[in-house]
Amino acid sequence: MLRFARLLFFAAIFPPTLALAQTRPIVLKASTVLDGKGHTLFNTIIVVEGTKIANVGGAAPAGAITYDLTGLTITPGWIDTHSHLYWHFNNGRLAGKDEPPTQAILHAAENAVLTLNAGFTTIQSPGSPEDKDLRDAIARGIIPGPRILTSLEPLTEQSGPPEKLRELVRERKQQGADFIKLFASKSIREGGAQTMTDAQLQAACGEAKSLGLRTIVHAHSAESAKAATLAGCTSIEHGAYVTDEVFDLMANHGTYYDPNIGLVLQNYLDNKEKFLGIGNYNEQGFAFMEKGKSIVLDTFKRALKHPDLKIIYGTDAVAGAHGRNAEEFIVRVRDGGQDPMAALLSATSLSAESLSLGNVTGSIAPGMDADIIAFDGNPLQDVTAARRVLFVMKAGKVFVNRLQESSSHSAR
């Protein structure tokens, strides 16, 4: 009882962020490590000190806390470069503006927990002003969730002429945006034609670059993707109708391609009754989304034929999809024919690089943040293993530890 009282006392005087700082080193015993850079390490240890990976394969320090992850497959925490963490259902329908803000933020926090528990330790949210408080609360360590990068409110062709767009880019930076999200085309349901002019794209992406901000651009048609690429924007999102000529252009410019082929359309169709009748979610739109699945799959297969094209890992997760972000990996490999190692690199180091976090996360190496997850099974050999995350560490703190649930593990 006295001990319990003392614990309460310590919990009261030390704020949670301090409690997170792990003073004892952690050792992860591993039989298989996919390091996120294309290497596979066998029978080694990963030493974590504080929030960082101290070394891989070195000696275990004295007094370390050890997690035995042998029998599992260890990878860096996965990254979703396009997740709408704020989108959620309330009472079985897509939540809208009439929802009380207290309910909205708690649903968003729930999505953050689901996403982290699925092994995604970093996400990029292309646009919701409410992201900022959630991002900051997670960064303070008071809510479990992935590291969040957000654009806050996106910009569109209606945001104003080029000079106004430059001003809005500066304003977003002031407001705390991590990057800029632009809508350069219509939705896939409306054909995806270019909406922002070339001059608007040049102004927005040029201004962002001069401020050190990345730009991610919703662009479906080849014309809109081409214009964004020539304007020096960082990545093309969706790109359902991008041609081979424009894929070559993107590869030459180092423009990232973020197809979303494995989760978003499937999720809309699975949850049709929760969206139907809201905004442009009508029967016609759903009929198109059914066809859209094969359109985006074919485009993805063509993209794979451009070896220099940097294909990153975004799902476009909306309400109902959070926590199932690994479905994208399964569809890319199983249906798209992507090499499983390439798909893994896309979800780890390549996406980290695209977020300018290549020296922070996305690989298992000394000095990197200790974002480390483990699967029951090897996703490179059995794609469905991507659904079986048994261990999640983010920045040195263990959030998920379901080791006893591993059949292969306990058999050893």
User: What residue ranges bind Zn ion (CB under 5 A)?
Assistant: 316
Minimum distance between the CB of residue 216 and Zn ion, rounded to whole angstroms? 9
> Is the Cβ of residue 170 or residue 293 nearer to Zn ion in the bound state?
293
> Is the Cβ of residue 151 or residue 159 nearer to Zn ion in the bound state?
151
Minimum distance between the CB of residue 135 and Zn ion, rounded to whole angstroms? 17
- 3-state class (DSSP) for residue 257: strand
- 3-state class (DSSP) for residue 233: coil
CA 256/CA 50 separation, integer angstroms: 33
CA 372/CA 365 separation, integer angstroms: 11
β 256-258/78-80 pair status: unpaired
> Is the Cβ of residue 316 or residue 369 nearer to Zn ion in the bound state?
316
CA 160/CA 180 separation, integer angstroms: 15
Per the CB < 8 A criterion, the answer to whether 372 and 364 are in contact is yes
CA 224/CA 206 separation, integer angstroms: 16
> Is the Cβ of residue 34 or residue 240 nearer to Zn ion in the bound state?
240
CA 94/CA 275 separation, integer angstroms: 6
Dihedral sign for Cα 327, 332, 336, 341, please: negative
CA 160/CA 139 separation, integer angstroms: 33
Minimum distance between the CB of residue 148 and Zn ion, rounded to whole angstroms? 15
Minimum distance between the CB of residue 123 and Zn ion, rounded to whole angstroms? 12
Phi then psi dihedrals of residue 293, to 5 deg: -55, -45
> Is the Cβ of residue 35 or residue 316 nearer to Zn ion in the bound state?
316
Per the CB < 8 A criterion, the answer to whether 218 and 257 are in contact is no
Minimum distance between the CB of residue 316 and Zn ion, rounded to whole angstroms? 4
Minimum distance between the CB of residue 127 and Zn ion, rounded to whole angstroms? 8
Give the angle 82-83-85 at the CA atoms, nearest 5°. 155
> Is the Cβ of residue 26 or residue 217 nearer to Zn ion in the bound state?
217
Q: Residue type at 197?
A: T
CA 239/CA 250 separation, integer angstroms: 11
Dmax over CA atoms of the chain, in Å, equals: 72
Phi then psi dihedrals of residue 67, to 5 deg: -115, 125
- 3-state class (DSSP) for residue 171: helix
Minimum distance between the CB of residue 352 and Zn ion, rounded to whole angstroms? 20
> Is the Cβ of residue 224 or residue 406 nearer to Zn ion in the bound state?
224
Minimum distance between the CB of residue 297 and Zn ion, rounded to whole angstroms? 18
Phi then psi dihedrals of residue 95, to 5 deg: -70, 145
> Is the Cβ of residue 316 or residue 376 nearer to Zn ion in the bound state?
316
Minimum distance between the CB of residue 183 and Zn ion, rounded to whole angstroms? 10
